[in-house]
């Protein structure tokens, strides 16, 4: 009888505590998967300076648009996006993190933004179209500035 009472008490405790489990990590992971799925649908979309629609994107317009699709509003500026979120070390990147680069010759700061999709790859709008690139690509590797997690 004591074992049965203990088992029932334990079951009630587990059930009660499950009501208070923080689901935000699960929701965040789901949102990041949705974000990356939305971004991948746009591969091949042409590059357009100032563009924020599937008719054409610049880098921050692409990030702005994909985040808006999942309910997150960001500024349309890589520099301003870099001021959002929490800094993440390159070794701790997770899918959905924003990755920033300096592509401006002779200037410091941030001028390009991409979405990390895992396996050391990012998706972004570059000179011709939305595409996937490796962070090991020599061009991007030397221009890496940092990353943020929203």
State the catalytic residue, choosing from 35, 45, 66, 124.
124
Catalytic residue check, 31: no
State the catalytic residue, choosing from 112, 117, 130, 147.
112
Catalytic residue check, 76: no
Catalytic residue check, 124: yes
Q: 20 is written with which tokens?
A: 């208070």
State the catalytic residue, choosing from 36, 59, 123, 130.
59
Distance CA 130, CA 116 (A): 13
Residues assigned a catalytic role: 59, 112, 124
């Amino acid at each position: 009888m004591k074992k049965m009472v203990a088992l029932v008490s334990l079951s009630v405790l587990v059930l009660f505590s499950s009501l208070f489990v923080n689901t935000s990590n699960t929701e965040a992971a789901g949102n990041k998967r949705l974000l990356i799925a939305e971004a991948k649908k746009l591969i091949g979309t042409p590059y357009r300076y100032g563009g924020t629609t599937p008719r054409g994107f610049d880098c921050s317009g692409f990030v702005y648009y994909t985040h808006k699709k999942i309910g997150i509003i960001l500024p349309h500026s890589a520099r301003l996006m870099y001021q959002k979120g929490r800094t993440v070390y390159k070794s701790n990147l997770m899918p959905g993190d924003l990755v920033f680069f300096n592509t401006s010759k002779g200037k410091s700061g941030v001028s390009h933004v991409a979405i990390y999709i895992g396996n050391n790859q990012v998706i972004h709008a570059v000179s011709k179209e939305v595409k996937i690139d490796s962070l090991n690509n020599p061009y991007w590797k030397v221009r890496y500035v940092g990353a943020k997690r929203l």
